[in-house]
Chain A
């Protein structure tokens, strides 16, 4: 494979001066640091705000069903909220697009796109990604995908509304719901662009990590962030193409009369011609991506957390090799557990047993990770910066949310909680909130690397504590609603008097959701304000060992003026006995008489 950036060039800038115009610097940039910022702004600041806002709208509807709210009229307009009362179709559309945006645009592209791009070259000691051009193309495909997804919100019959899992026939037949017309078409086109973007990005990450590590940076000296991004990219390359194939087959069924997923259907007084297909096939294809996707979202957050917890504990990460092994184990198992989303789909019950087995196995490496984080804190000297709080918060929600996986992963127990609010509570805690915490932790920690300034810590603390209390306030009671038998994706619960006594809990959840949602404005303000007015950062503000902090604060093309630093040790020599300082950067040579840390 040809490699675009030569790592051994002595003084990068002397060799070829790039003429930087406004367009090549700010728009069609090939610099990984700029692309990281572009991913953050598009994925998190724009798409994230839309996704969260949608959740607030449907939470209001759930707490005060069928009441009139002028806020609905403002955001949804006359068509979808006549007299301020939300229409059931737009409710389903909001749920669908909220899921799509949060899972794919915010927590996949926003999280991986930002931090893989920023950190892979800087932490492994590379001038840039293996292919800066492909990296740029990946971002712009993601941008197009975002534009199409947002555009789909404005089509006449409304955006896709079949749930983020877009199971056919509901998603395939516009006769069954208005959102399955042009809205669904745009959804599929948007996701096709998204997948293309994700594949290009992932291949680039993999090649960069394998080929462009600086001298001395062996695989077992890589910081855990890089391990996480690397393995995430591999899972993405394995599983995203399967979603693409599912999307293509669905497009064929929708527009070209094939019957991959459809059979024996009667809608609106008419027998349709479809014969011999099965929606269960779609479910298999979807979840073959869908489950690994959970780890595509989660692993980068765990990688970020590993780095931040070690740095701020001033202590080596506990069990480095076990952490790497558990990342690999999770990655492997994640591709053979998808059937646990399908226990009650009519799949052969024997398969249910197999998937129960593999699913509960995945709890073992997950438990190892959680215990290792806790052990890292033990006997540390914790610097409780906002990033550290979010990292500890991540471990907390990862445990709370992960544990209920024991119930959902168990086919027998899944029967009665499948597709209820119990599932919603589970996956929001274990993957939604945990990954978001990872994202926030990463932003607070690497903001100095992104913008050369520090974020305001007091606002960071306030942001964390409101979010932390809110997250439990929203999702803890939600488990009970699910166990009371309430299915998810109900526009209102008033059709069943049996659920009347859940109304109070729903109000409570919504109040927490509104407070937590609004509290994110603190983060937005802090982010944007600090971008321009934050205190100027030192080169290595957190006294960290990894290579990115040896690069100058100002962003330069090629990352380091002069030689790329060489690596002489692993990333976690914190508080090493015999050293004056409590950290030893990876680029510091082993002193005479010093033991190389065994890890």
Chain B
């Protein structure tokens, strides 16, 4: 594999160098051999045209990328603030797209248009205050608009109220897994600290303080945690060892997990897992993934190994902050469901008092 790969890479490179060198040589045919190593008129002509071609290349890369990679992007947001997020993202992208298209065009077109000709004199233009004012003020206005929009969105997301009926969930990170803790019937999380982790022969997996009466009805879960749809969730985020980052891309949510402090994030899920699985973009993505997995499985079977499991969509909690060797595999499944199903599921879990008995 390596050998084949390296051979292919080296060959491709060699061919491209050879071809490009040849183009340059051919373009110089008939001219006196110029070994000054300074661009001649011919060089300017060719390189100027290539600059123009490069503009076309940038546009093609852009079009190709958007045409074929849009489908891999995240599906529509599954949280309330996510809609605002997506709108702001779209507007920012429009600004970027317009500026990128125009500036790259000017840059490369000028590189082509004004490619050097012997004996022509460039225009002597040192500055133009009016023009410079224009291109200072316009970006300033656009940026101020974006800043205002961004700041309002940011403070809407981050300055959440601790409502009575919000669900309190603790996300607990360690090398290399996640746990979640529910506050139980009193909706108040019991105190916790890493000092309590070794209590109860290690059964106190997130270090709950058993002497705090609020702690006894707390529920700790692993592997997956559930959220009721359309109810605000406030996450209290902790880590026991190093920095981690609780990243829930489908909800446009991320917050670092910092040992020694509790960080917070809040969102309201709007789409159940079941509904999201029916979203056309998700359906298409899952089909695509399963086709890839099927093809890979065929190879595995041919090698006499186990085939891959078919994939089904689920919301994910990932770690986005480098945290050691298994950083790449720190995952927890998130299930969003109706309030009724959620309560049913939560009641099946063991409370802290049951765990430590």
Contacts and interface: CB of A to CB of B under 8 A. Distances in A.
A597 to B, nearest CB: 6
B65 A477 contact: yes
A417 to B, nearest CB: 9
B342 interface: no
B43 A495 contact: no
Contact of B328 (A363, A367, A485, A490): A490
Given A278-B258, A415-B254, 14 more contacts: A69-B5, A169-B242, A173-B241, A313-B114, A320-B126, A356-B151, A367-B136, A377-B111, A384-B44, A411-B150, A415-B85, A495-B331, A497-B289, A599-B126
Contacts of B132: 319, 322, 368, 371-372
Given A173-B242, A353-B155, A374-B110, A416 B253 contact: yes
A381 B254 contact: no
Interface in B85-137: 85, 88-89, 92-93, 95-96, 99-100, 103-104, 106-108, 110-111, 114-117, 120-128, 131-132, 135-136
A593 interface: no
B311 A500 contact: yes
Interface string A155-166: 000000011000
Nearest to B240: A266
B279 interface: no
B140 A403 contact: no
Contacts of B319: 487
15 contacts: A177-B325, A271-B194, A346-B256, A352-B154, A353-B154, A360-B146, A384-B115, A385-B39, A395-B107, A399-B104, A472-B58, A472-B61, A476-B65, A492-B328, A599-B126
B143 A271 contact: no
A465 B127 CA distance: 31
Contacts of A314: 116, 121-122
Contact of A491 (B9, B125, B327, B331): B327
Interface string A62-101: 0010011111000000000000100111001000000000
Contacts of B99: 399, 403
A248 to B, nearest CB: 20
Interface in B1-15: 1-3, 5-6, 9-10, 12-13
B101 to A, nearest CB: 11
A582 B121 contact: yes
A550 B123 CA distance: 25
Contacts of B106: 374
Nearest to B14: A518
Interface stretch (A184-192, A285-293, A570-578): A570-578
Contacts, number: 426
Interface string A405-442: 01100111101101110000000000000000000000
A357 interface: yes
Given A176-B324, A368-B135, A575-B122, A349 B107 contact: no
B328 A495 contact: yes
Interface stretch (A136-144, A223-231, A235-243, A456-464): A456-464
Interface stretch (A38-46, A194-202, A257-265): A257-265
A582 B122 contact: yes
Contacts of B227: none
Contacts of A277: 260
Interface in A275-328: 276-280, 313-316, 318-322
Given A170-B242, A266-B207, A461-B47, A534 B37 contact: yes
A531 interface: no
B350 interface: no
B289 A498 contact: yes
Interface residues of B, number: 134
B245 A69 contact: no
Contact of B61 (A269, A353, A473, A501): A473
CB-based closest 8 A-B pairs: A263-B260, A485-B249, A349-B158, A346-B263, A454-B37, A384-B47, A490-B328, A266-B194
Interface in A117-157: none
A473 B85 CA distance: 28
B151 A353 contact: yes
A36 to B, nearest CB: 21
Interface in A542-585: 542, 572, 574-577, 582
B243 A392 contact: no
Interface in B311-331: 311, 313, 316, 318-329, 331
B92 A413 contact: yes
Interface in A364-413: 364, 367-368, 370-375, 377-385, 388-389, 392, 395-396, 399-400, 403-404, 406-407, 410-413
A132 B321 CA distance: 44
A385 B38 contact: yes
Contacts of B62: 476
Nearest to A385: B39
Interface in B271-313: 285, 288-289, 292-293, 308-309, 311, 313
Interface string B150-165: 1101110111000000
Contacts of B124: 315-316, 574-577
Given A315-B122, A346-B256, A472-B57, A413 B328 contact: no
Contacts of A207: none
A489 B318 CA distance: 12
Interface of A: 60, 64, 67-71, 84, 87-89, 92, 162-163, 167-170, 173, 176-177, 262-267, 269, 271, 276-280, 313-316, 318-322, 344-346, 349, 352-353, 356-357, 360-361, 363-364, 367-368, 370-375, 377-385, 388-389, 392, 395-396, 399-400, 403-404, 406-407, 410-413, 415-416, 418-420, 454-459, 461-462, 465-466, 468-469, 472-473, 476-477, 479-481, 483-485, 487-493, 495-498, 500-503, 505, 511, 514-515, 518-519, 522, 534-535, 541-542, 572, 574-577, 582, 597-599
A451 B21 CA distance: 25
Given A411-B154, A501-B289, A515 B12 contact: yes
A583 to B, nearest CB: 10
Nearest to B289: A500
A501 B288 contact: yes
A64 B9 CA distance: 15
Interface of B is mostly: helix
A320 B126 CA distance: 7
Given A69-B2, A497-B289, A542 B146 contact: no
A494 to B, nearest CB: 9
Contacts of A534: 37
Contacts of A572: 126
A28 to B, nearest CB: 33
Contacts of B159: 349
B183 interface: no
A487 B319 CA distance: 8
B255 interface: yes
B20 A170 contact: no
B157 A415 contact: yes
Contact of B136 (A92, A352, A368, A488): A368
B154 A349 contact: yes
B200 interface: no
| Max count, chain B CB within 10 A of own CB: residue among A395, A501, A575 | A501
Contacts of B85: 412-413, 415-416
Nearest to A377: B110
A278 B243 CA distance: 11
Nearest to A167: B243
| Max count, chain B CB within 10 A of own CB: residue among A69, A263, A485 | A485
Contacts of A374: 103, 106-107, 110
Contact of A484 (B72, B89, B96): B72
A556 B260 CA distance: 60
B72 to A, nearest CB: 5
Contact of B127 (A318, A477, A500, A519): A318
A480 B39 contact: no
Given A392-B107, A493-B328, A356 B147 contact: yes
A429 to B, nearest CB: 12
